[in-house]
Amino acid sequence: MPNPNLHSYRKEEFRKFIRSIGVTGVDVRPNYETRDNSLRNRETDPESFQRKEVGNIGEKLVRKTLEELEQNGYSVINGAKLRFGDKVKEYDRIVVSLHGVFIIETKAFGMTDGKAVKCGVFIDPDDHWILRKKQTNKELQSPTEQIITAVQHLSDILQNSMFPVHGIVALSNENAFIKQNVDLPYQIVRIDALTNAIRGTYDHLTETDIRTVLHAIDESRVN
């Protein structure tokens, strides 16, 4: 049950315990992380409202994709606002598992009315991002600074952790073609490759490591 006074890993430990002693109806791991309002749309300007709506659809698609991992014991934290010192940052989502610690930033580049359409996302050696759709080009804002800042912020929160924080930009448009001509300190994947990108990392966290990470995240939450 949602309860901000109990850490998610404690709830999960209890669920596994009562399942082990024969209690039925608790086979599926619940979504404990319900404390977020990131998918509300409070925009009043029509253009901003539509942009937020498309972004929200992209967020829901990524959440749906990650449900497979949640069902296999991965911790997926949506919309957390975390504080370190005097800095508060909101994360699209954080994934913690035996494979490692990941922050995932969702981008709905190229989607039309919330639907996936064919387009190209091109990144040049100077980290300039261009969206090419219907024979027209549109310059996009590079998420690199955003990802680097988020990775550093979460790394500061997990200062006692010996494991790195991995950044991933997930494109919710599964019909997007990605052409990357620069090495960046994070991965860029479509949602249909997202779970494989996470599973393809091998930081080999232990259950104790996972509990330590989740505890640090919960202690830093402001929502």
Quote the pTM value: 0.80
For 148, the 3-state DSSP assignment is helix
Give the tens place of pLDDT for each residue, 96-133. 999 999 999 999 898 887 788 899 999 999 999 999 99
User: Is there a contact between 123 and 181 (Cβ–Cβ < 8 Å)?
Assistant: yes
Q: Give residue limits of the domains in the chain.
A: 8-220
pLDDT string in tens for the chain (223-residue length): 555 556 666 777 888 889 899 988 888 766 565 444 455 655 556 555 555 565 667 788 888 899 889 888 899 998 889 999 999 999 999 999 999 999 999 998 988 877 888 999 999 999 999 999 988 999 999 999 999 999 999 999 998 678 899 999 999 999 999 999 999 999 999 999 999 999 999 999 998 999 889 889 988 988 7
Q: Write the secondary structure of 48-105 as one string of H (helix), E (strand) and C (coil).
A: HHHHHHHHHHHHHHHHHHHHHHHCCCCEEEECCEEEECCEEEECCEEEEECCEEEEEE
Measured distance CA(188)–CA(185) in Å, rounded: 10
